[in-house]
Chain A
C-alpha cells in the first residue's frame, strides 16, 4: 500500500475524511454544550485580544514562568511545526508526487526540514522530562483523586506523540535513502536527525526501504488522525479550548464580578446552582484547563489544607459539564430525566455534589489562581456565582456571615458599630468633612476599617498627617460615609452590595467629587473598577500611588531615617487586582536606612493574608493552618523588625499571626502611611 498511489490514496482519503468528520462532530457537540451557558459579551477590544493570543499562546509567556513550562514551550512549537509537516504528509497521501520542495524550493525546504528535525528531537526530550516529572518527581500539583485515570490519559497522550515522532523519523529516514539516486525525488541532507536515523536502514533493498517507508508513513498518519479523535475526550481538550480562552479572557481587573440584574421581575433564580447557569465563557474555561495545577500551587486555601483546590474545582466542573451537557442535549425535559434516574449525572447538584459548600466558602478571592493560569481560567467568579445562589436564594451561610450582613444593613459597617460614630476617628484631627467644606480637590474615602477599627484608625490619622503635610486639599465624608459593599459582594450578597453602592455613589456625587484617595485596597478596587457599573466617574487613587506621586513631586520629604529590617507584603487587591507593585515599594524606598527584603511569594505571586473574599469575617476552622499564620511564618523567616503592609485587613491578619508565633512584641506591623508619616514628621518633633 504505497502512500499516494491508487488505491492507497482512496483509502487514505476515506480515513482522513472519516477522522476529520468525527473530530468535527465531537467538536461541534462540545460547542453545543458550551452554548448551553448564559450569554456574556467578550467580543470587545479585539486587537487587544489578538495581542493576548500572540503573547500568551504563541509566546507562552505564562507557561514559561517556571522551568517546567519550557518543556511545554517546545512541545507546543513542536506541535505547530510538525503540523506544517503533516500537511505535506497528507498531500503525499493523496498524490505520491506531492512535495514542499517543488513549491518552496530546495533551500527553504531544507530549512523547514531542519526545523522539524530539531523540534521533533526537542519534543522527545521534553516528553521524557514530562514522564520523569509525572512518575518520579510526582509534584503535588499533578495529584488527583482519580490519579490512575489522569495518569493513563497523560500516558496515552505522551505515548501517541512519541510514537508519531518515531514513525515520522522512520518515514523520513527511509525517504532520504529512497531519494538518493532517484530522479524527481529530493530529501534535504540538512535534516540531520532523519539522516542519522537512516543508518538503521542501511543495506536494505529499494523494495525493503519502500516497505519501511509505507509502514512508517501509514503508522505516523494513523497516529496523528487517532490523536485528533482522542483530543476532545482527554485533558488535551485544552488544545481546542486554550486559544479561544486566551482570546476571550477578562481584560479588566482580575476577579471582577458581573453586575447582576436584580430589577428583572421574571428572574426565577439568582446566582448559579446548575452548571448551565454559568456563562459560555465560564464553561469555556473548563475546556481550556489541562490540569497543570499552577492554580493550586499558589492557592492559599489549598496550601493550608482547606477543602479547596482550584485545580480540582475545574476538574470536577469539567467532568460534570461533559457528562451532564451531553445528556441535556440528548433529551429535552432534563428535569424528568433527573427524577427518573436519581443516581444519574442530571440529578447531581452543582452545589453539594460537584462543588462542596466549604470549597466555595474557602476562597479568599486573592486571584493567585487566575494570575498563574497560563490560559487565563477565571476561578473566582465561579465561586462567587455559587455563593450568590446560596446567599440570595437560600440564605444558606454561616451564622457569622449572617451577623456581618446584618451589621452592614443596619450600620453600614461589618462591626455593626453605630453609623453615626463613623466620623469620630477624625475628632481633633485637622480634617474637614465635605459638609463643612466641599470645595476640596480630593475626597479621602476612609472605609470601614479606617473609621471603626482601633488599629486602622491610626493608619487613617497617619494619612491625614501626610496629606496635610503635603498641602493636599482634601476632605472626608465623616458620619455621612458608607461602606463600599465590596466584601458583601464577594460573600455573594449582590443585593446588599448594589443597594450600598447605589447609596454611596449618590452621596459622593452629591458633593461633585471628582478625585478620591483611599487607604483600603478593597475599597480602592471597588470604587475604581466596580462602581462605574453604578454611575461613578471618578479618578480613584490608593494611598500608595498617591504618596509615591507626592514623594516624586517633592511635596513630601522624609527626613528621618529608619534603621530597621522590613518585609513588604503585597495586598492582593492592590497587586494582582490593580497592578500596583512598585508604588508601595517606592514609598518605602524613600526612607533612608530601611532595609528591604522580599518573600519568595511576593508581587504577583504574593500569598494572601487570608482576609479577602469575606474570609475576614468568617471563622477559619478548616485545614491544618490558618492562612494568616502561614503568611506570617513566611515573613518571619526573613527575620524582620517590621512587616510592611498597605491594607488595613492585612494589618489585622499579620498582627493576629504574630500573636500565634508569640512574636508580637518583637515584630511590628505598619502600614506604609504610618512608616512614611513617622519619617516625615519625627524630625520636626
Chain B
C-alpha cells in the first residue's frame, strides 16, 4: 500500500510575525520554519500504517529550497521517499493553485491514500486537502482523529459536537487530519532515522515536469487574493486592583462601566 502525505512548511507558531513591505504578506527574514503541525499528524498517521500494515510513505511538498529540510524531517521520522515541487512560478498561488500543483504531482505517484492536515497553521484556509481530492477525483474524509485501513477501505473517526462519527471510504481516498498534539503525539526522529534520512531519495520537480505551465498557477491564476494584513493591536498590560474586597469590587464595576463600557 502506498500513502502520499502532503506536507506544508509553515512558520513556527512562536515566530514573532512581522508584516512585509507590501502590507499583504509576512516578512520571512526571521522566520523559523517547521512542518505544519496538522501535516505532522498526517505523517504520524501514515507511519503508524507503515508499522501496522507495511505501507510505503511518500512525502509530497511544494515550496522553495528550504522546504527540503521539512521533508528530511519527515523522512527522519520514517517516511520512505520525498518529492518537492520547487518552481518559482508557483509563488503567490492561492489554495486552488496549490491544489492543482499537488494534484498534478500526485498523478506521477502511485497511491492508495493521500494524507494531509485539515488546514495549515499559517493561512488557516482549510481548503487545499479538499481541493486536491476533488481534482484527483477521489473521495475525501475530513478531520480524522484515528484512521484504519482494511479490505480496500479506509475508516476514520471524526469528533463532532459531543460525540464521534465513524466514516469510511473506498480506496483510493484522501484523508485530512485534525485532533491535537496529544491525540497524535508525532514521533521524535531517532538518530539512526536522522542518519538514514540523509540518504533517502528526494526528487525535485518543476511545473513542466508535472505538465503544468506558469499560467495555470501562481500570481497570474489566482482567484482569491490577499488584499491586506494587519497585526492585532498590542495587548495592554494587566492592572491589579488594590484595596479590600469591597473597594476592589467597586473599582472593578466602575472600570467595566466607564473604561471598558461593557456594563
Interface residues of A (CB under 8 A from B): 262, 265, 270, 392-395, 397, 399, 402, 405-406, 410-411, 416-421, 479, 495
Q: Are A262 and B191 neighbours in the complex by a CB distance under 8 Å? A: yes
CA distance A405 to B73 in the complex (A): 14
Sample of 17 A–B contacts (CB below 8 Å): A262-B191, A392-B191, A393-B191, A393-B192, A395-B190, A405-B188, A410-B14, A410-B34, A411-B14, A418-B15, A418-B16, A420-B15, A420-B30, A421-B16, A479-B30, A495-B191, A495-B194
Near A by CB (< 8 A), chain B positions 202-240 give none
Q: Are B185 and A393 neighbours in the complex by a CB distance under 8 Å? A: no
Is B24 positioned at the interface, with any CB of A under 8 Å from its CB?
no
Is B189 positioned at the interface, with any CB of A under 8 Å from its CB?
yes
CA distance A420 to B185 in the complex (A): 27
CA distance A418 to B18 in the complex (A): 12
Q: Which residues of A contact B192 (CB under 8 A)?
A: 270, 392-393
Contact with A along B22-45 (1 / 0, CB 8 A): 000000001010100000000000
CA distance A92 to B190 in the complex (A): 66
Q: How far is the CB of B140 from chain A (nearest CB, A)?
A: 30
CA distance A233 to B86 in the complex (A): 68
Q: Are A392 and B190 neighbours in the complex by a CB distance under 8 Å? A: yes
Looking at the complex, which one of A392, A416, A495 makes contact with B14 (CB distance below 8 Å)? A416
CA distance A416 to B14 in the complex (A): 7
Looking at the complex, which one of B12, B32, B182, B189 makes contact with A395 (CB distance below 8 Å)? B189
Q: Are A417 and B191 neighbours in the complex by a CB distance under 8 Å? A: no
Interface residues of B (CB under 8 A from A): 12, 14-16, 30, 32, 34, 182, 185, 187-192, 194-195
Given contacts A410-B14, A420-B15, contact A393 B190 (CB under 8 A): yes
Q: Are B12 and A418 neighbours in the complex by a CB distance under 8 Å? A: yes
8 more A-B residue pairs beyond the given contacts A420-B15, A420-B16, with a C-beta to C-beta distance below 8 A? A393-B190, A393-B192, A395-B187, A405-B188, A418-B15, A419-B32, A421-B16, A479-B30
Tell me the nearest residue of chain B to A413, going by C-beta. Answer: B14
CA distance A509 to B34 in the complex (A): 28
Q: Which residues of A contact B32 (CB under 8 A)?
A: 410-411, 418-419
Looking at the complex, which one of A395, A410, A420 makes contact with B188 (CB distance below 8 Å)? A395
Q: Which residues of A contact B195 (CB under 8 A)?
A: 265
Q: How far is the CB of B116 from chain A (nearest CB, A)?
A: 21
Q: Which residues of B contact A421 (CB under 8 A)?
A: 16
Tell me the nearest residue of chain A to B33, going by C-beta. Answer: A410
Q: Which residues of B contact A265 (CB under 8 A)?
A: 195
Tell me the nearest residue of chain A to B16, going by C-beta. Answer: A418
Highest count of chain A CB atoms <10 Å: which of B15, B182, B185, B188:
B188
Q: Which residues of A contact B30 (CB under 8 A)?
A: 420, 479
Q: Which residues of A contact B185 (CB under 8 A)?
A: 399, 402
4 A-B pairs with least C-beta separation: A392-B191, A395-B188, A420-B30, A418-B14
Q: Which residues of A contact B189 (CB under 8 A)?
A: 395
CA distance A419 to B14 in the complex (A): 8
CA distance A410 to B12 in the complex (A): 7
Q: Which residues of A contact B194 (CB under 8 A)?
A: 495
CA distance A265 to B185 in the complex (A): 29
Q: Which residues of A contact B191 (CB under 8 A)?
A: 262, 270, 392-393, 495
CA distance A265 to B195 in the complex (A): 8
CA distance A394 to B182 in the complex (A): 19
Q: How far is the CB of B234 from chain A (nearest CB, A)?
A: 14
CA distance A405 to B187 in the complex (A): 12
Q: Which residues of A contact B15 (CB under 8 A)?
A: 418, 420
Q: How far is the CB of A401 from chain B (nearest CB, A)?
A: 9
Q: Are A417 and B187 neighbours in the complex by a CB distance under 8 Å? A: no
Q: Which residues of B contact A417 (CB under 8 A)?
A: 14
CA distance A406 to B188 in the complex (A): 9
CA distance A495 to B12 in the complex (A): 21
CA distance A390 to B30 in the complex (A): 34
Q: Which residues of B contact A479 (CB under 8 A)?
A: 30
CA distance A411 to B32 in the complex (A): 7
Tell me the nearest residue of chain B to A268, going by C-beta. Answer: B192
Q: Which residues of B contact A397 (CB under 8 A)?
A: 188
Tell me the nearest residue of chain B to A412, going by C-beta. Answer: B32
Q: How far is the CB of A113 from chain B (nearest CB, A)?
A: 64
Highest count of chain B CB atoms <10 Å: which of A265, A270, A479:
A270
Tell me the nearest residue of chain B to A269, going by C-beta. Answer: B192
Tell me the nearest residue of chain B to A417, going by C-beta. Answer: B14
Q: How far is the CB of B85 from chain A (nearest CB, A)?
A: 24
CA distance A270 to B192 in the complex (A): 9
Tell me the nearest residue of chain B to A403, going by C-beta. Answer: B181
Q: Which residues of B contact A405 (CB under 8 A)?
A: 188
CA distance A112 to B96 in the complex (A): 99
Q: Which residues of A contact B16 (CB under 8 A)?
A: 418, 420-421
Q: How far is the CB of B32 from chain A (nearest CB, A)?
A: 5
Q: Are A402 and B188 neighbours in the complex by a CB distance under 8 Å? A: yes
Q: How far is the CB of A161 from chain B (nearest CB, A)?
A: 50
Q: Which residues of B contact A392 (CB under 8 A)?
A: 190-192
CA distance A411 to B195 in the complex (A): 22
Tell me the nearest residue of chain A to B182, going by C-beta. Answer: A399
CA distance A411 to B187 in the complex (A): 19
CA distance A400 to B91 in the complex (A): 37
Tell me the nearest residue of chain A to B12, going by C-beta. Answer: A410
Tell me the nearest residue of chain A to B32, going by C-beta. Answer: A410
Q: Which residues of A contact B14 (CB under 8 A)?
A: 410-411, 416-418
Q: Which residues of A contact B190 (CB under 8 A)?
A: 392-395
Q: How far is the CB of B192 from chain A (nearest CB, A)?
A: 7
Q: Which residues of B contact A410 (CB under 8 A)?
A: 12, 14, 32, 34
Q: Which residues of B contact A418 (CB under 8 A)?
A: 12, 14-16, 32
Highest count of chain B CB atoms <10 Å: which of A405, A417, A495:
A495
CA distance A418 to B190 in the complex (A): 25
CA distance A685 to B126 in the complex (A): 57
Highest count of chain A CB atoms <10 Å: which of B14, B15, B16, B189:
B14
Tell me the nearest residue of chain A to B195, going by C-beta. Answer: A265
CA distance A393 to B196 in the complex (A): 13
CA distance A420 to B31 in the complex (A): 8
CA distance A394 to B191 in the complex (A): 9
CA distance A397 to B188 in the complex (A): 9
Q: Which residues of B contact A399 (CB under 8 A)?
A: 182, 185
CA distance A471 to B195 in the complex (A): 49
Tell me the nearest residue of chain A to B77, going by C-beta. Answer: A395
CA distance A416 to B190 in the complex (A): 21
Q: Which residues of B contact A262 (CB under 8 A)?
A: 191
Q: How far is the CB of B40 from chain A (nearest CB, A)?
A: 10
CA distance A226 to B14 in the complex (A): 69
Q: How far is the CB of B232 from chain A (nearest CB, A)?
A: 16
